[in-house]
């Protein structure tokens, strides 16, 4: 390995050598990078969105990968993306009304520093998650108490039945942190931790978990380096080192795969993937749990028409879903019925949206909307999950133009979009969503227009009373209390409500392109953790 070259020995011979090299620049065809034979280093090219690596503060797709490799939770989500499997807890029991969850910790479980994982660590970590008032703190909503009857037993009590708690506990943010190490570096867990905790910076450079890797180095906007946890308490990870390299665009990710500079890329868009013909690169499109949606701000300021339910339905019918999928992801995506990802509880058998121009025009005519109407369409100008929002919104503009609705497109940065939608609402916009844990409840809480929900506020319902759906809270409580065999049915009922509300119009669930070099084994897409690094090996 390069690192082992003694630093001093070559320095004297270096200068003339260097001059010769400078002279050779531009003449030598050998300057392109060659695949290095570095032992078992896995390189992932990725556009990263990390703002924190503190499990109780972080909240991003890349964070899921890094946190699930460096920390462990009580339970994990199995490879089928449905079943909950043991991780730190070797077994668990749930009471009949799903309010008391008792976990037995695996006796062998050890942190990277050798200390045993105890119930105190678990309770402290979950307390901290709740009290930091960070992005993932909502995962602990409804958790009434975390009790530790003995060093190996954890009892979690919830205020109401919660059939999704195990899925929530499998989320990377519910990581169990080595309490002693974290506290020594400024971490606090109790009430007031949101102000008192000073460990954010420390977690950017260190990890304190029991996972198969440890955080070796993080340089923002550049790279994350993970090193194999030599004393891992289960089977050690096959690769010694993982480097996640910041690579913004899809094309460069593809290039790096082809040149051998990277082993894995997960953000190659469909058009670029079609251009990759290298036999050494495996391209594997997979259905994803991500989706992109158009949202109607029914009561937004500056809305020139009364955006009632039939008008919203007309807009939904005017969209050319197949065309959108063709244009944005070159056909590599799926239609999606409700704002709950395909494959999550309650989505099977829902009616998929389709274009019906005649019906759309008739609905608009009935609503008394004739001639041409201009609607403001402010949206974040991002390129995510392979979807370029500029392209998407230009297509939506053309589709709605066919029924007399002209969109005035205004791509903005995310901070501007957030201010607009919170302060005044936005008549027509587009956003994206990826799962935070396995379970449909998060979608109902977020996309449902029950009082107080995010999209209730963003719809500015004062001017659009029919956008509110008062039935959702009861339906959600019922779904969370439902026994396992009834969960799908209960969530399907809520999904149909959200479809009828037509505040959120999901347009495409883009396929995820798993792209990797031949010889890389064990690459899979996980609903909780994105890319489980410990399962990957390099031949």
Partner 1 sequence: MTRYLLRRLIAMPLLMLGVATATFLLSHITKADPLAAIVSERQMNNPEIVAAAKARWGLDRSLPEQYAVYISNLVQGDLGVSFRTRRPVADDIGARLPATLELVVFAMIFGVTAGIGLGVAAAHWRDGWIDHGARLVALIGSSMPVFWTGLILLYVFSVVLGVFPGPGRIDARVAPPPGVTGFYTLDALIAGDMERLRLALAHLVLPAFVLGWAVMGIISRLVRGSMLDVMEQDYIRTARAKGAGEGRVLFAHALRNALIPTLTIIGHSFAYLITGAVLTETIFAWPGIGAYAVDSARSLDHPAIIGVTLVGAAAFLIANLVTDIAYALANPRIEIGRADG
Partner 2 sequence: MAEAVRIRPGLPGWLTPPVAVGLAVVAFWVAAALTADLWGLADPLRMVARRLQPPSGAHWLGTDALGRDVLSRTLHGARISLTIAAVVVAAAVSLGAALGAIAGFVGGWVDGLVMRLVDVTLAFPPVLLAMAVAATLGPGLENAVVALVAVWWPVYARLMRAQVLEVRTREHVEAAIACGAGPMRLLTRHILPLCWTPVLINATMDVGQVILLAAALSFIGLGATPPTPEWGAMISEGATQFYSWWIAFGPGFAILTVVLGFNFLGDGLRDFLDTRSAR
Question: Hey, which residues between 414 and 443 contact partner 2 (CB under 8 A)?
Answer: 416
Q: Which is nearer to partner 2, 166 or 318 (CB)?
A: 318
CB 110 within 8 Å of CB 231: yes
CB 58 within 8 Å of CB 207: no
Q: Which is nearer to partner 2, 381 or 537 (CB)?
A: 381
State the binding string over 46-75 for partner 1 (x if CB under 8 A, else -): -----xx------x----------------
**Least Cβ distance, residue 54 to partner 1 (angstroms):** 9
CB 458 within 8 Å of CB 422: yes
**Least Cβ distance, residue 301 to partner 2 (angstroms):** 16
46 touches partner 2 by CB under 8 A: no
411 touches partner 2 by CB under 8 A: yes
Q: Find the binding residues for partner 2 in span 279-308 (CB under 8 A).
A: none
Helices (H) and strands (E) in the chain, counts: 18, 23
At a CB cut-off of 8 Å and minimum separation 6, what does 165 contact?
98, 101, 143, 156, 158
21 touches partner 1 by CB under 8 A: yes
On the CB side of 319, CA atoms within 13 Å amount to 31
Among 237, 256, 515, 533, the residue binding partner 1 under the rule CB under 8 A is 256
127 binds, among partner 2, partner 1, none (CB under 5 to 8 A by kind): none
DSSP 339: S
357 touches partner 2 by CB under 8 A: no
140 touches partner 1 by CB under 8 A: no
Among 162, 206, 272, 445, the residue binding partner 2 under the rule CB under 8 A is 272
219 touches partner 1 by CB under 8 A: yes
User: Strand 504-510 vs strand 387-388: parallel, antiparallel, or unpaired?
Assistant: unpaired
393 binds, among partner 1, partner 2, none (CB under 5 to 8 A by kind): partner 2
Compute the distance between CA of residue 365 and CA of residue 406 in angstroms, rounded to an integer: 16
Q: Count residues near partner 2 (CB under 8 A).
A: 25
194 touches partner 1 by CB under 8 A: yes
The runs of H, that is alpha helices, within 353-471 are: 357-366, 389-401, 414-423, 441-447, 454-458
306 binds, among partner 1, partner 2, none (CB under 5 to 8 A by kind): none
How far is residue 112 from each of residues 58, 202, 207, 440, 529, measured CA to CA in Å?
21, 16, 9, 34, 20
> What is the three-class DSSP state of 518?
coil
Q: Find the binding residues for partner 1 in span 454-513 (CB under 8 A).
A: 454, 457-458
Compute the distance between CA of residue 82 and CA of residue 381 in angstroms, rounded to an integer: 33
Q: 3-state DSSP helix/strand/coil percent for the chain, to nearest 5?
A: 35, 25, 40
40 touches partner 1 by CB under 8 A: no
375 binds, among partner 1, partner 2, none (CB under 5 to 8 A by kind): none
Q: Which residue has the tokens 């609905």?
A: 363
Which range of residues in 29-37, 165-173, 360-368, 385-393 is near partner 2 by CB under 8 A? 385-393
Q: Which is nearer to partner 1, 29 or 349 (CB)?
A: 29
CA nearest to 266, candidates 102, 147, 385, 178: 385
CA nearest to 33, candidates 251, 256, 230: 256
93 touches partner 1 by CB under 8 A: no
At a CB cut-off of 8 Å and minimum separation 6, what does 273 contact?
254, 283, 285, 332, 513, 515
Among 79, 149, 220, 519, the residue binding partner 1 under the rule CB under 8 A is 220
Among 250, 288, 429, 440, the residue binding partner 2 under the rule CB under 8 A is 250
513 touches partner 2 by CB under 8 A: no
45 touches partner 2 by CB under 8 A: no
418 touches partner 1 by CB under 8 A: yes
> What is the three-class DSSP state of 395?
helix
Which range of residues in 156-164, 306-314, 415-423, 523-531 is near partner 1 by CB under 8 A? 415-423
28 touches partner 2 by CB under 8 A: no
Residues that bind partner 2 (CB under 8 A): 249-251, 269, 271-272, 275, 326-327, 381, 383, 388, 390-391, 393-395, 397-398, 409-413, 416
């Amino acid at each position: 390995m390069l690192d082992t070259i003694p630093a001093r020995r070559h320095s004297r011979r270096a200068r003339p050598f260097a001059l010769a090299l400078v002279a050779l620049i531009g003449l030598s065809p050998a300057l392109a990078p060659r695949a290095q034979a570095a032992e078992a280093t896995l390189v992932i090219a990725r556009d990263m969105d990390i703002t924190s690596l503190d499990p109780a503060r972080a909240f991003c797709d890349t964070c899921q990968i890094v946190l699930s490799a460096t920390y462990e939770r009580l339970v994990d989500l199995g490879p089928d993306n449905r079943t909950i499997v043991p991780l730190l807890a070797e077994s668990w029991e749930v009471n009949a009304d799903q309010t008391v969850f008792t976990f037995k910790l695996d006796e062998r479980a050890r942190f990277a520093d050798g200390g045993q994982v105890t119930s105190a660590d678990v309770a402290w970590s979950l307390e901290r998650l709740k009290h930091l008032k960070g992005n993932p703190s909502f995962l602990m909503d409804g958790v009434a108490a975390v009790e530790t009857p003995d060093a190996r037993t954890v009892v979690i009590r919830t205020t109401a039945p919660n059939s999704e708690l195990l899925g929530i506990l499998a989320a990377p943010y519910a990581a169990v942190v080595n309490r002693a190490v974290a506290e020594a570096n400024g971490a606090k867990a109790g009430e007031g931790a949101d102000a008192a905790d000073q460990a954010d910076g420390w977690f950017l450079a260190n990890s304190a978990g029991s996972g198969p890797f440890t955080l070796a180095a993080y340089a923002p906007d550049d790279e994350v380096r993970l090193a194999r946890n030599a004393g891992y308490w289960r089977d050690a990870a096959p690769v010694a080192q993982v480097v996640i390299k910041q690579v913004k665009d899809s094309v460069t990710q593809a290039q790096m795969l082809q040149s051998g500079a990277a082993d894995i890329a997960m953000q190659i868009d469909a058009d670029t993937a079609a251009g990759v013909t290298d036999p050494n690169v495996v391209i594997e499109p997979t259905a994803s749990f991500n989706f992109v949606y158009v949202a109607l701000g029914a009561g937004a300021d500056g809305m020139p028409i009364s955006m009632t339910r039939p008008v919203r339905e007309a807009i939904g019918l005017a969209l050319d879903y197949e065309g959108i999928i063709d244009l944005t992801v070159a056909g590599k995506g799926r239609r999606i019925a409700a704002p709950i990802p395909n494959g999550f509880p309650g989505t099977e058998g829902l009616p998929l949206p389709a274009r019906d121009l005649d019906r759309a025009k008739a609905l608009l005519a009935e609503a008394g909307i004739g001639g041409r109407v201009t609607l403001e369409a402010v949206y974040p100008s991002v390129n995510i999950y392979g979807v370029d929002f500029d392209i998407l919104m230009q297509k939506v503009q053309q589709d709605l133009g066919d029924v007399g609705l002209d969109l005035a497109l205004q791509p903005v940065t995310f901070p501007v979009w957030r201010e607009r939608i919170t302060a005044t609402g936005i008549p027509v916009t587009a956003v994206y969503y990826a799962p935070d844990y396995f379970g449909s409840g998060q979608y109902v809480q977020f996309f449902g227009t029950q009082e107080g929900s995010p999209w209730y506020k963003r719809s500015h319902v004062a001017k659009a009373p029919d956008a509110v759906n008062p039935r959702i809270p009861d339906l959600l409580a019922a779904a969370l209390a439902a026994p396992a065999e009834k969960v799908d049915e209960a969530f399907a009922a809520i999904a149909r409500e959200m479809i009828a509300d037509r505040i959120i119009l999901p347009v495409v669930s883009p396929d995820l392109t798993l792209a990797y070099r031949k010889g890389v084994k064990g690459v899979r897409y996980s609903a909780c953790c994105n890319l489980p690094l410990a399962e990957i090996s390099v031949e």
